[in-house]
Structure 1
Amino acid sequence: MERNQLKKSRSFVMPDAFIIIFSIVTIAALATYFIPAGSYERETVDDITKVVPGSFSTTESNPASILDLFSSIQLGMIESAGIIFLIFTIGGIIHIIESTGAINSGINTLIEKTKGRYMLLIATVSGIFGVLASMGIAANAVIAFVPIGIALARSLKLDAIVGVATVYLGYYSGMIAGIFDPTILGLAQTIAELPLFSGMPLRIVLFLALITITITYTNWYAKRIKNNPEKSYMGSKPFGSLAEKADVKEDTSRITGRQQFILLTFIIFIIGFIYGAFQYGWGINELSGIFLMMGIVIAFIARISPNEFVHKFIEGAKAIAYGALVVGLARAVIVLLNEGAILDTIVHYALVPLELTSVFIGAQLLYVFNLLFNLLVTSGTGQAAIIMPLMVPIVDLLGITRQTGALILMLGDGFTNIITPTSGVLMAVLAVGGINWIKWVRFAFPLLIMWMIVGAIAIAYAVLTGYGPF
């Protein structure tokens, strides 16, 4: 008996997400001792800051000390403060809205009208968000819609992973293809001196392939746990910490007039943010402000007292504190790489050898490099500003079209965002959804492999056909 207990105590236990990410932070600190410091010169042309090709030079080494290692966590929290507090705000306000029963009632009404066809609901919601994202709607907006996916999954008796996947992965399928994306695609094509939105037909086909695979995979997982809930990657708590919200009204089969008004208010405020993102460049701070205003208006409609409002807000924020803090910890990796001045060195020594490869192999290696580099720099515009000016002379030398280079950047930037812990948006989405990062990676990794294969095929096609213009 004692021997069995000892054996059990020695069995492998998957490390917590905080442990894994701190290990990555430690590796980044150690890398500053082995990778030479260096930097490219930057220039600003037409309000676009980009690196100058051929300007790389080594600089004085600045390895991270033990104090730098731990203080980088504080600096990471400070640099990520905007998205961390956005997570707290969304968590608090959504908990207030959920307490009115409006979201559950609305979802139940939708399920009733579709006669419980959960696969159709998942496909429809994913498709809608995919189309919206392909038109370049601000990436931060997806965080606001995750609670809708969670409510849908809860009503369908699935799990939080299905809820997040339905919204977030559907959204990312469109964002990666970027059919009309004016930000990442727009910047990449501007740097490559390509007509804006050119090369659209291939990106449309790519979007259809990605969204079809995503919907099929999400529905496969949903059917799997519908038939056998024990197969859920969430374990015994299908909605994680969100399952502990005791005052959420579950039995709300019929939606009331007041609840309809609450949902309408939610939609109006979100549409207001999307309009502001397009017209005025609103971002994280404005989205947080929109949610606070929305919460106050909804509290007034639902007749929630000020003290009750604060109590519910704190409860909601507390439920997602774990995920919010992970965002800041992950940012510490970038802090150490920047302070150690090794990020540009990594780019330089990875890209320069590619000039000696063949057309086909060179294109695929550029794709692999962008996939890996995105684990460090998850900002699409940031990656475009660093990588695209360096890729242009390489693709010209290899005989690859610049349009193919822009496609490589888009795919390399997008795919690994769905698993990398350094992505603030991903960690925010997981925090709002109450999902542990490790459990999410277990679910998302097979899909990532399928996406990467599709990307490799698209790049091979682009090389063979001389994907243009230019």
Structure 2
Amino acid sequence: MSDTSSQRWYERVPHPAVLIVMMLILVWGLTWLVPSGEYERHAVAGREAVIPGTFTLTDTTPPSPLAIFHAVPLGMVAASSIIFAVFIGGGLFRVLEATGALERLIGTLVDRLGSDRPALLIWLMTFVFGALGVAVGYENNIALVPIAVLLGTALGGDRLTGAGIAICGVGIGFATSPINVYTVGVADRIAQLPLFSGALLRSVLCLGALAIAAHHITRYLARIRHAPERSLMPPADELTDEGGESAPPRGHRLVKRDWAVLGVFVLGLAIMLYGVFALGWYINEIAATFLAIAIVAGLTGGMRPGTLNARFFEGAASVTTGALLVGLARGIEVLLDQGHIADTIVHALSAPLSALPVLGSALAMTVVHALINFFIPSGSGQAIVTMPIMIPLSDLLGMTRQTAILAFQVGDGLTNLIVPTSGGTLAMLAIAGVPFDRWVRFFFPLLMKLFLLSWLALSVAVAIQWGPA
């Protein structure tokens, strides 16, 4: 047993369910200590936005202690679409794994490029997943996580290696995307700037952040390949088949049936992407597409209906913990709404910024948005609540609106990959089979590097008075 007193705090992170319950109790306590208050709102781009300077205290009765428990089923209901997507996504990939097509695909890829050059594959796939995060979104890429997990184990790593490739790639790409509809798009409209303006600096930040992530994952893989005992996921935590050790797939050759199964999968993803971009699809439609892919791919792979059914429900059962954590985390938002304290917290956190110099305010804004992200993990939701306050504040401070939006984008986006209230991150970890505490220990050092890079970008933005172009 190691001496816990010598461990860093993120090496002693408890189970996410414990964290979330502690946060539920904390938020309930805040509803009794923090005065309830609200901003007036008006319609902006079809959604309600805060009107700056209109914050007023309200007379709201704090919820009873029973509300802590009541918030859990209410959160489950509110997050039901993501929960079902996780269940169906887990079932889909158990079916695909059972066909053997994905395993042989990854084995062929590793054989062709060479497992003796893992850094090349990690950098390549991190940027591929990053491009998906930039262009497609965050939760929309949940279905691709197990592919990266298989790749990570094929390279001689663990499940955390593959989860890092997928979640860091997609998450960082989404967080720093110059064309992020949910954050940059909403904030640009509120700030009355040209849509997706300032793309050059954001693109440089995005590429730099993905490079740092790829380097971080490469170093982790090299460390555990040299000393397997240094893995953050020891063998007992790895998923195995019928009690055996999980082995990296190598030496396989794709057959016609594999190509057919993979074709069904790619076609399903293409249909999903068309629906997302052209038809406005979101979680429910994505989950329905997952289900269709699972059924067609399983039958194409030669499964009998009974076997297909069994594999699908095995996969769904394997992600139960992660799926339920998504709903549990949503209960925090329920309590905030019942106590009417979210606006009060935003008002209190934004007020001290006016006393700082421009650069200090820009850097502090990232921290403020990171703290708010614990309570409002939705990027578009946080933009709607905070940007109508931060944009006028940036005008008063002499900070360009473009810089204020970048500070919001960084503080909100990067912390989404580590806060226990981020449903998308919990869903991806659930499908990857990676416990949240192991993820924190892996990702937190990378988060610090990413914040340093982002603060450098913000320093440049302040120095050049970065405008709307």
After TM superposition, is the score higher than 0.5? yes
After TM superposition, what 4+ stretches of structure 1 lie above 4 angstroms from structure 2? Answer: 244-252
What letter is aligned with 1:131? A
Q: CA deviation at 1:384?
A: 0.7
Q: CA deviation at 1:53?
A: 0.9
1:346 alignment partner in structure 2: 345
- The residue type paired with residue 232 of structure 1 is S
Mapped to 1, the partners of 2:20 and 2:346 lie a distance apart of 22
Q: Give the corresponding residue for 1:318.
A: 317
How many percent of aligned residue pairs carry the same amino acid? Answer: 36
Distance (whole Å) between structure 2 residues aligned to residue 251 and residue 355 of structure 1: 58
Q: How much has 1:251 moved relative to structure 2?
A: 7.5
| Alpha carbons 1:142, 1:168 under 8 Å: kept | no
Offset at residue 182 of structure 1 (A): 3.0
2:133/2:174 contact within 8 Å kept: yes
Q: What is the CA distance between 1:115 and its match in structure 2?
A: 1.6
Q: Give the direction of change, closer, same or farther, for the CA distance of 1:17–1:132 in structure 2 (3 Å limit).
A: closer
Alpha-carbon offset, residue 16 of structure 1: 2.6
1:335-356: CA deviation from partner (whole Å, max 9, x where unpaired): 1111111000001112123223
CA shift for structure 1 position 192:
0.5
> Following the alignment from structure 2 to structure 1, what is the Cα–Cα distance between the partners of residues 166 and 182?
21
**Is residue 108 of structure 1 aligned with residue 113 of structure 2?**
no
**Contact 1:37–1:58 (8 Å) recurs in 2:** yes
In the alignment, what sits opposite 2:379? 380
**Which residue number corresponds to residue 158 of structure 1?**
157
Structure 2 unpaired stretches of 5+: 5-10
Q: 1:384 to 1:23 in 2, by over 3 A?
A: same
Give aligned pairs, total: 460
**Corresponding residue for residue 23 of structure 1:** 22
Supply the distance in 2 between the matched residues of 1:353 and 1:231 (Cα, whole angstroms). Answer: 43
The answer to whether the 8 A contact 1:179-1:197 is kept is yes
**Could you tell me how far apart the structure 2 residues matched to 1:438 and 1:276 are?**
35
Whether contact under 8 Å (2:137, 2:174) holds in the other structure is no
Cα shift readout 1:59-108 (whole Å, capped 9, x = no counterpart): 11332322101111111111111111111101111101100110000000
Is contact 2:51–2:388 with CA below 8 Å preserved after alignment?
yes
Q: Give the whole-Å Cα distance in 2 for the aligned partners of 1:37 and 1:366.
A: 23
Counterpart of 2:386, as a letter, is: I
Q: Residue 129 and residue 13 in structure 1: after superposition, are their counterparts in 2 closer, same or farther (change >3 A)?
A: closer
Looking at structure 2, the residues matched to 245 and 259 of structure 1 have their Cα atoms a distance apart, in angstroms, of 23
Q: C-alpha displacement at 1:161, in angstroms?
A: 0.9
What does 1:86-101 correspond to in 2, within 5 Å? 86-101=85-100
- Match in the other structure for 2:397: 398
RMSD, aligned CA: 2.2
Q: Is the 8 A contact 1:38 1:345 kept in 2?
A: yes
Shift in CA distance, 263/246, structure 1 to aligned 2, threshold 3 Å: farther
CA contact (8 A) 1:64 1:340 kept: yes
**Higher mean C-alpha displacement, 93-102 vs 358-367:** 358-367
Q: Is the 8 A contact 1:96 1:295 kept in 2?
A: yes
1:243 alignment counterpart: 240
Shift of 1:237: 2.9
How far has the Cα of 1:238 moved from its partner?
5.1
Cα distance 1:14–1:44, how it changes in 2: closer, same or farther (>3 A)? closer
Amino acid at match of 1:453: L
Code of the aligned partner of 1:44: A
1:195: which partner in 2? 194
| Separation in 2, partners of 1:348, 1:434 | 38
Cα shift at 1:422: 0.4
Residue type matched to 1:280 in 2? Answer: L
For the 8 Å contact 2:377–2:422, the answer to whether it is kept is yes
The match for 1:227 is 226
Deviation for aligned residue 1:245 = 6.1
Where does structure 1 lack aligned partners over 5 or more consecutive residues? none
Shift of 1:389: 0.7
- Please give the secondary structure, in 1, of the residue aligned with 2:25: helix
> In the alignment, what sits opposite 1:128?
128
Which 10-residue stretch deviates more, 426-435 or 326-335? 326-335
- Give the TM-score, by structure 2 length: 0.94
Contact 1:149 1:166 in 2 (8 A): yes
Q: Does the CA contact (< 8 Å) of 2:110 and 2:250 recur in 1?
A: no
SS where residue 243 of structure 1 aligns?
A: coil
Matches of 2:12 and 2:218, distance apart in 1: 29
